[in-house]
Structures are given as C-alpha cells and as structure tokens.
Structure 1
Amino acid sequence: MDLQKPTPPPQYPEGCLAVAVRIPVRIVVLVLVVPVRMAWDALVVVGRFLYGSVLRPVGRALAWLGWAVFVWPLRALWRWVLVPVAGALGWLGYVLLVVPLRWLYTYVLTPIGRALARIARGIGAGLERLYARVLAPVGRGIAWLFKGVGFLLAAAGAGVYAAVAWLARYLLVVPARWLYDRVLAPVGRALARVVGAVVTAIGVVLYWTARVLLVLPALALWRWVLVPLGRALAVVAREVGDALGHAWRIAGRLSRAVGRALATLFRWIFVEPLRWMYRTVLTPVGHVLRDVVLRPAAQAARAAGRVVRQTLAAARATVRQTRADIRRMLFGEPRQPVAADHREPSGRETRTLGSSTTALTKD
C-alpha cells in the first residue's frame, strides 16, 4: 500500500569495540576540532570583510586602470592608426602589384603562352606521325623477334627444369621423407613423452612446495590476522569519521554562539555608547553650531561675496570708461558710419511693373 509507512532499514547490533572506542574518540576529537573550527570561522569572517571592503574596490580600480591604460589606447590605435594604414597599404599594393601583374598576364604572358602552345602542338603532331610511320613498325618487328627467341629459350628451360626436378625428387626428397617417417618421428615422440613426464613431476613437486611454504601461511595470516585487524581498523576509522563530523557540527554551533556573544559584547561596549553619544551629544551640538556659527558665517560670506563682486564690477566699469576717455583724447572721436539708403528712388524715376526703361516704350 502507498499510504503505509516505509519499513526502516534493519539495525545491526554494534560490537563492544565500537562502543568502547566511540566516547573517548569523540571527546578527543571535539577538543582538537573546536579551536580549528573557531579559527576557520574567524578566517571566513575576515576573508568576507576583506573581499567586500578591500579586494572588490581594488579589483574594480585595477580593472578601470587596465581599461584606461591598455584597452582604450589599443582600441584607438587599432581603429585610428592600424585600420587606415592597412587600408592604404592594401590600396597601394593593389595599384603597384595587382594591376601591373594583371596587365602583364593579360597582354604579355597570355599571348606568349598561346604561341608556345601552338608550337608545342605542331611538334607533338610531328612526333606522333614519326611514331606512327617509323617507330611503331620497327618496334613491332623487334618484339616479334624477341618473342621467337623467348619461345625457344622457354622450351629449353622447361626441359632443363624437368630434368633437375626429377633428379632432386629421387635423390633428396624421397630419402629425406623416409628418414623422417622411419627414424626422426619415433625418436621425437619418445623424447617428448620423457620430457613431459619429467616436467609434470617437477611441476607437481614445485606446486606442493609452494603451497606448503607460501600459500598456507599466507592464507592463515590473511584469515586469522589481517582480516580481524582490518575490521578493527575499519571500526576505528568509521568512529573517527563520525566523531569528526559530530565534533565539526558542535564546534560550528559553539563558534556561532561565541561569535554572537562577541558581537553583542562589542555592540554594547562600543556601538551603543557611540550611537548614544551621536544622538544625545553630537547631533544637538552640531545643530547649535549650524544655527549659531555656520549659517551666519555663510550669510556673511555670501554678503561679502556680493559686495566684492559689485566692487569689482564698478572697478571694471571705471577702468573701461577711463580707457575710452584716454583713447578719445589721443585719437579723437571715432568716425560714425553713414547710414546708406537702399530704398528705390521716388517720383518719375520709379520703376513699376507697367512701365519700361527702353527707348521705344519710354513715356
């Protein structure tokens, strides 16, 4: 059924070694792990503070400095120097190399190549005729001659080969086969049986010697010494691992409790008095200083600034007027420009759309 509770895994009874090792090991490991965990938590806090307050701003400053010192100059060099220079060099190479080479290929090399191709075709046609009319018949005659000579030599060689093969068969092969079947094969079988029996006996002796001297002691050592010792070490290692995990968790809780206590103590010893002093003493004093000293000083400074600006403006106007008077005394009054009348003349001389200035149509 799906609604039934799952069956828990079977719990095997623990041995006396695990029970005897667990408590001392956990106590020793807890004593050893608590300072390490507290030091680790302190290092983590210091590392986070350094990362947030020092390393990240320094990294951003270094990144901006690297951008300003390396990336932006290289980008400007690439965009405003290398790309235009490369474009100019490409255009120059096209004008100085590609265009002359194309002209040389089109108007010099191509006609020369076509002329050489025609000459080569004429020479090939002459050689083809020479081959068809002279060389081919001569070659056929020489081949027919060599074919006849080769046929004669092949017939003579076949006869010699047959004679030599018959002599080798009855002088070498037949005696060697008889010697192998009647002498060597029986002797080899007998020697193989003797050697096999000797090797088998030696192997059996060596097997039992190695079994008695090596295998049985090693098996006893494994079964009665190494296996129990390994089980005991496995129990101790498992308990030590569990104790390390348990001690690490307890040390973490202790470290958090100690950290919170230190933070609370630091807050009540330093932060809260400083906050009370800021709210109760420094803020009213700052307001009084602002209202009594800073604001009147700022108003006086602004008034003094206005007076200074007005004085400087009056001085500039006086200097300007004095300079104009001196120029007028030395060079006289400046000549006034005459206003030009750009309007059309009035009266009889006025031009209209209905009149004309020609001699034929003039009134």
Structure 2
Amino acid sequence: MKYQSRKKAILLLADGTIFYGKSVGDKEGTSFGEVCFNTGMTGYQEIFTDPSYFGQLMVTANVHIGNYGTNENENESDSVKISGLICRNFSYDYSRVDAKESLEDFLNANNLFAISDVDTRALVSYIRDNGAMNAVISTDVDNIEGLKKQLAEVPNMNGLELASKVSTKEPYFFGDENASLKVAALDIGIKRNILRNIASRGVYVKVFPYNATFEEMSAWNPDGYFLSNGPGDPEPLVEAQAVAKEIIKRDLPLFGICLGHQVIAIANGISTFKMHNGHRGINHPVKNLATGKGEITSQNHGFAVDRESAEANTDVEVSHVHLNDHTVAGLKMKNKNCFSVQYHPEASPGPHDSAYLFDQFVANIKKAKLQQA
C-alpha cells in the first residue's frame, strides 16, 4: 500500500446519515457540495472536469477509479469542476499507453479533496432512494456537530445560479476561421468536446460569456446560435433566457444542450423542476419520437423540463423521451428553427448514437442561409 497512514474520513449527508472511508493519499481536508452519483464505467477525467458538475460531490459507481491514469487531452474544461470525489477503490498506480500522470497527481494539481474505501454500492442505493442532497466529506471525524452546522449553511441547488462560476470571462474563438459557417455559442458551462463536434462540421465558433446580450452575439453576424450545457438551476438565468427569446422571435437557427435545453424551454413559458436524484451516466435510453429509434445516451443533469407543461404548449413538441422515467429528453419548436436535447450528444464520455444532432443543427443553418439568399 502506497500510503500506510491514510486518514479516517467520513461522508456526512444533510439528513444526518454517515458513511465511513479514508482520505485519498495522506491528506486532511473538508469539502461541501450536493452529493450525486455517476454510473459510467469509464470517463472519470471527463466527468471531473465537466462544468455541469460544478459544486457537486461526485460518487463514482464504478468500483475502481484511477486505474488508467489521466491525459490532459481528455479535460472538458481548464480545471476540475467537482467539489470532491467519493469512491470505493482508488488506484494510485495506473496503466495506459496514453496516460501522462496518475489520477492522484491530477487531483493534487487541482487541489481536490477525495475519499475512498466508502461503501459506494450502499451509498448510491441510499441516494437513489432518498434523493440528491447536500453533504460534506472530511477527515475531521471527531467534529460531527461542527460539520453539521457548516453543512446547514451550504445553499441548496434548487434556485442556485452557477453558470457565472464556470463561464468564460471574455469571448474566444474555436475552430477554423476560414470555415463556411459561423456559430455564436453562449457559454453557461460549455464542454470542449461540444465545441470540437460543432467545429468539425465546418463551423467557426465564437464563445460568449453567460451574460452576453443578443446584440453582442449578433454583432458578429453568425449563421446560427448555440446554448450550452452547464450547472445549477435554469430559472435564475434570466439573461440567457432573454437571449433565447430574441433568437426564437427572429427565427434564427438555435440548438440547446442540457442547461441550454432548459433555458429554451423556459423562454417558451415551459416550466422546469429539480429531479429526485437526476440522470448521470453513459447508458441512458432515449427514444426519438420522430424516427421511433432508440438511442443510448450520455446524461448529466439534476433539473428537467416539465412534460405536462411542454405538451400543453402549442408552439413546441416533445421530440425525445427518456425511456426509464418518461421525462422530456428533447424539444422542437413547430414553426421556428429551434430544437434542444436534455442529454449530451458529444458523449464525452459515452456512446455516439446521438452525434447526428450536430449534423441536424448544421443542416438547419444551411437551410436558413439558402432561404435568405
């Protein structure tokens, strides 16, 4: 064993339940956040750096974490975005041709506190039954009452605006500046692989901060618009909602993913809600209602669009549904060039069943350009 003196650690849930473990390495620490779990068997680095996970304590359902190391090319943002890691077996040694460093070194470089040796099977089952809630991981195991007091002050994810914490501060470009198409992307927590997927289809992307106005975005004269994934509750994102409303009003090509999907829903007067424990994994079944085909999808969200509210809206149709719980997985406006999905078609990590959605977006843009010609 690399560390003989690892510290005792606990996971304390907001309802008072305690799970026991040990620190990763010989570190002492404490970290707060909403506890959630991801069922993916691979892709831990992409998960940890996904801005959609900002402020969350991540429980990995896979029993082994760290066994294939890390590679900087697999980062989905410029840093780790989860607030802490909870796992069963943490691998200090790793083996993979493309690996550049261990997960331990990667987490240390990002100053992330992690605990292992937790009964994650029992923990995931508990969260599934009792719902996502705030929690704390700590090596301060003799200070339970103090930790409870600090935990009580952590804000609830419901109503929490987090896009400003992860969005770019200044606009930037991605892709080939000589590409034939231009897309303005609103960054409310964007992943790099989304940008790669858009750019690889002959598109030059300009990424704007979360609070950019439609006027600022349209001044670049883009051919289409994109609303990204991201963390937190969509309700407080009034600036992004205003952007979506303006794009829709002008019938410009618009595509939204995850949080962007929820923002588009709200812009259409459709309500959203906080889920019991969310969808987080790389094997979620979705049905495309237009084609009747099933897709295995990558998902990461704790909020969802209210299906009854969506189906009551005469301007919108539900295009995709989640086959496990029948929640809304996609929306399409009937008379506007706008569609969105709740899941992650860039699938980093995950299957590529839904990559066609990027093709659909580009096709919508090209069709709009032909109509304007």
- If the length of structure 1 is used for normalisation, what is the TM-score? 0.15
Flag the structure with more relative contact order, 1 or 2, with Cα contacts below 8 A and sequence separation at least 6: 1
Task: Select the structure that is richer in strand.
Answer: 2
- If the length of structure 2 is used for normalisation, what is the TM-score? 0.15
